[in-house]
Homo-oligomer: A and B are copies of this chain.
């Protein structure tokens, strides 16, 4: 049935072209009218009176609402936000941590740094970056397990593999098909067996063993494309698997993507701890909220005699987390099953209680965030899966 709620839900998919956030979340939808003939009136408040993007926005609204059954035509009326409304919006966006700010003149004055603007979120509710600084501690494993566990709970989940030179994500999910472009011009991500949306440079390459020998500027623009040119659709969580280091790729992710939370992965070695600390200090400098630390490869239990061996040194995840002043989320033991399932592209068959705990924490944080965010905004974000 055609009602205001259905139209509002449809409008949620329309983004402010400059800010890249839904016009509903931006409180730009002011009035919705429906008459008996199926003619819909939508009133939109723009961030600035003669916004050059107004025509684009009007067309987007007409197109989105026009898709609904029973709609004959759509009339879009525009108005401008008051200074007070702009100020309120600015505060909300700042609280949201997107760094996208609307100045008095309505310009998008991102503070992300010279030449790099923070991108919007479209239909993505939460962006979680998985970092470590040190390579080989299991970022991709933690990323894929979190995605798997969230998916098990019914959430819509996407995984963006931001590691261009050492991409693992497509392989652990057993994906190899080439992504294609949808009629809307966006790239359709690959889908895992359980329905996780995946985008990785290795899905684009003709041969997965070919190196991408690119210097920073190209790496940066490709990462932005893998995020922004992809049709993630409505997802509750987009997990971003970062490469090791604190140079171009991680920097671009922190500067370009509106990251809501960071999960840090370490291993018991002191050596790893030192480098993980670098990544944590980077995330702090970039003002990205750190959700906590997962220790991978905590110990190994011999399948022969059951002896627990601390191959990479004494487990110290909780101590390291305390030193870094971030929450400790738990430790995952070494298990030959992980390498086996990863190599076979069947990581979704693995489970570990640690990831159940982490997903519960992610959910709580998301709910709190949305409660703060939606005060005064017309509709609430769905942070829970819709069991249809």
Which residue numbers of A lie inside 8 Å of B, CB to CB? 133-137, 140, 164-168, 171-172, 208-217, 219, 243-249, 251, 267-271, 274-275, 277-279, 281-282, 285, 300, 302-305, 307, 309-313, 334, 336, 339-340, 342-343
Known: A211-B285, A212-B246. 6 other contacts (CB 8 A): A133-B211, A135-B137, A209-B277, A211-B282, A215-B248, A244-B244
B244 and A213 contact, CB distance less than 8 A: no
A356 to chain B, nearest CB (A): 24
Chain A binding site: helix, strand, loop or mixed by DSSP? Answer: loop
Assess A216 versus B133: contact at CB under 8 Å? Given A211-B279, A211-B282: no
List the B residue with the shortest CB-CB distance to A286.
B213
B residues in contact with A215, CB < 8 Å: 216, 247-248, 251
Is there contact, CB below 8 Å, between A281 and B247?
no
What is the CB-to-nearest-CB distance from A194 to chain B, in angstroms, rounded to a whole number?
20
Are B339 and A269 closer than 8 Å at their CB atoms? yes
Given contacts A165-B246, A305-B307, A336-B309, contact A342 B271 (CB under 8 A): yes
Contact residues in B for A136 (Cβ distance below 8 Å): 134-137, 244, 267
In Å, the complex CA distance between A216 and B274 comes to: 22
Could you tell me the distance between the alpha carbons of A313 and B303 in the complex, rounded to whole angstroms? 14
With both beta carbons as reference points, the residue of chain B lying nearest to A164 in the complex is identified as B247
Residues in chain B near residue A277, CB distance under 8 A: 209
Q: Which residues of B contact A305 (CB under 8 A)?
A: 302, 304-305, 307
Please list 10 pairs of residues, one from A and one from B, whose beta carbons are closer than 8 Å in the complex, sorted by A's number. Answer: A134-B166, A165-B244, A166-B244, A213-B246, A216-B248, A219-B247, A268-B339, A302-B304, A302-B309, A309-B336
Which of A137, A302, A307, A342 has the largest count of B CB atoms less than 10 A from its CB? A302
- Which listed residue (B213, B246, B302) contacts A285, Cβ 8 A? B213
| Contact call B310/A307, Cβ cutoff below 8 A | no
Q: Tell me the complex Cα distance, A212–B137, Å.
A: 20
Instruction: Tell me whether B213 and A282 are in contact (CB under 8 A).
Output: yes
B166, B211, B312: the one contacting A135 at CB < 8 Å is B166
Query: A302-B302, A304-B307 in contact; A216/B213 too (CB < 8 A)?
Result: no
Chain B residue at smallest Cβ distance from A344: B270
**In the complex, A312→B300 CA distance in Å?**
12
Considering residues A136, A215, A267, A274, which has the most beta carbons from chain B within 10 angstroms of its beta carbon?
Answer: A136
How far, in whole Å, are A211 and B286 apart by their CA atoms in the complex? 12
Question: Are the C-beta atoms of B282 and A311 separated by less than 8 Å?
Answer: no
Measured CA separation A208–B272 after assembly (Å): 12
Task: Check A135–B216 contact: CB distance below 8 A.
Answer: no
